[in-house]
Amino acid sequence: MPHGNTTLAACACAWLALWLGGCANSNDSQNQRSTSGGGPKHDQAALQGSWEQLPEEPGPGTPRQRVFKVVSGDKEVVTTYDAQDRAIHSQTARFRLSRANGVPLYTYYGATVTANAGEERAEGPRSYLYKLHGNDLYEVWGLLPGQEERAVLVKRWKRVGPAPGK
């Protein structure tokens, strides 16, 4: 008999896969169509460029931060800025895209902190579910094996520029 957490995780993954697959509104323009259905190579091309994370409203005592991701080839640089527009954290990593039972996975690896780190460190691979939808990129954390203790988190990024040099 399956373990309760395994069944719950499987149900959550199935629900999320349905939700991610159904994000496209039938009234969307051709420009806003889902791109995650094109496969990892197509998605990697669509990811190229600059993205800004759309932050939630901060809670009391929580500063509002802006986060930018620049994707070039199979590399990403993610930089967090404080309210005074100072870089408070930056990380460079390589990534690969894949599918697991049709669900798109984004895995980054070799992450190195490059700004305000105190020391450089490399992180092992980390994966999350993703969805490209027009000029929006969604990251979903907390549903994959090994993330059972992590809260489910959905991050939304908005495209803010083309790939560097384009």
Q: What is the pLDDT of residues 65-100, one digit of tens each?
A: 889 999 999 999 999 988 888 888 899 999 999 999
Rounded to an integer, what distance in angstroms lies between the CA atom of residue 38 and that of residue 25? 17
The residue to which tokens 């969604």 are assigned: 138
What are the sequence ranges of the domains in the chain?
A: 39-57+64-161
Q: What CATH number does the domain located at 39-57+64-161 have?
A: 2.40.128.50
pLDDT in tens, 103-121: 999 999 999 888 775 656 6
H or E element that contains 47:
helix 40-47
pLDDT in tens, 119-141: 566 667 999 999 999 999 999 99
Can you give the pLDDT at residue 161?
Answer: 87
Report the candidate in 103, 112, 116 with the shortest Cα–Cα distance to residue 15. 103
Res 26 pLDDT > 80: no
Can you give the pLDDT at residue 162?
Answer: 78
Can you give the pLDDT at residue 116?
Answer: 72
Rounded to an integer, what distance in angstroms lies between the CA atom of residue 82 and that of residue 19? 32
Tokens of 163: 């790939």
Rounded to an integer, what distance in angstroms lies between the CA atom of residue 131 and that of residue 104? 7
Tokens of 101: 């039972």
Mean pLDDT of 16-45: 55
Average pLDDT, rounded, for the chain? 77
Rounded to an integer, what distance in angstroms lies between the CA atom of residue 9 and that of residue 139? 17
Mean pLDDT of 133-154: 93
- Three-state secondary-structure class, residue 156: strand
**The most confident of 9-13, 18-22, 42-46, 118-122, by mean pLDDT:** 42-46
DSSP 57: P
Count the alpha carbons within 13 Å of 156 in the hemisphere toward its beta carbon: 10
Tokens of 120: 């450089």
